[in-house]
Amino acid sequence: DQQVKQNSPSLSVQEGRISILNCDYTNSMFDYFLWYKKYPAEGPTFLISISSIKDKNEDGRFTVFLNKSAKHLSLHIVPSQPGDSAVYFCAASANYKLSFGAGTTVTVRA
């Protein structure tokens, strides 16, 4: 039973527009949430994270929002660039274990 769910397998967005990726989780013990980015034939790379005691974290073009009551987090990318085309994984951490969602493939159109 997946504890972290990304219900949108793909997202297509025009260059310069906002990309919004969503993630839901079921385990209330998760205390840290992260987003990873993955290009083909490479390992995932860390993008941005947020502690469960916060509701927003921003790093340049990337902002992560956490709604604990809804058990929902989202990643906003503004503005979207061609190099942002990749698979994005949502992840959540508890007790030395990191659980990942299935991923969302983002395609940025010129």
Partner 1 sequence: NAGVTQTPKFQVLKTGQSMTLQCAQDMNHEYMSWYRQDPGMGLRLIHYSVGAGITDQGEVPNGYNVSRSTTEDFPLRLLSAAPSQTSVYFCASSYSSVNTGELFFGEGSRLTVL
Positions that interact with partner 1 (CB under 8 A): 2, 4, 6, 9, 32, 34, 41-46, 49, 89, 91-93, 96-103
Q: Nearer Cβ to partner 1, position 63 or 101?
A: 101
Looking at beta carbons only, is 79 or 94 nearer to partner 1?
94
Dihedral (Cα; 104, 3, 69, 13), 10-degree rounding: 0
- Residue 16 is encoded by which pair of tokens? 């310069």
- Please identify, using beta-carbon distances, which residue of 7 and 14 lies nearer to partner 1: 7
CB closer to partner 1, 18 vs 98: 98
| Bridge partner residues of 75 (DSSP) | 21, 64
Phi, psi of 31 (to 5 degrees): -120, 0
The C-alpha atoms of residue 76 and residue 92 are separated, in whole angstroms, by 17
| Residue 95 exposure: Cα atoms within 13 Å on the Cβ side | 3
Closest approach, Cβ 37 to partner 1, in A, equals 11
CB of 4 to partner 1, least distance (A): 8
How far apart are CB 93 and partner 1 at their closest, in Å? 4
Q: What six digits make up the tokens of 50?
A: 């947020």
